[in-house]
Amino acid sequence: MAPRRVGQPELAAREYDDAQRLAQIIEWRRHARSYRWIAEQLGISHQRVWELYQEALAAIKVPAVEALRQEAMERYEGLMAELRDLASIEAMKDAPDVNALRLLLDSIAKNQEGIRKLFGLDAPAKVEATVQQQIRYVVEGVDPEELK
């Protein structure tokens, strides 16, 4: 019989609670809940929620991540369709509400930003640049013929 380590049940319970919390965070993010909203529900900072979510995503196997990306993309596409419908209705009115139109355009921009982030298009990229140039020095006040 293996010796029982002190604190082992507490450790197992904490790991179980952490796993449940991660699962809940992933589920809420799948339902488009904000990091701030999730933080309020869990009583932690929104930065910590983001960190936990990133850790959870890193632990998920590639096919599952692709499925999550596909769900998010479908959500973005649905939202964009709704925003386009609203934009066309606003564009047809004689005197559209400028503030409503501004909010609509802001929503479209945020949606596009979400899509870029979803596919990592905003991530910094390592770029290699090769520069070939010549440097020509000119010394004024000296006659090149005198140097020969």
What does the pLDDT read at residue 129? 63
Residues of the chain with pLDDT under 70: 1-13, 89-97, 121-131, 137-139, 142, 144, 148
What does the pLDDT read at residue 35? 92
Question: What letter represents residue 101's amino acid?
Answer: L
Rounded to two decimals, the pTM is 0.42
Structural contact between residues 115 and 73, judged by C-beta atoms closer than 8 angstroms: yes
What does the pLDDT read at residue 45? 92
What does the pLDDT read at residue 73? 84
What does the pLDDT read at residue 88? 72
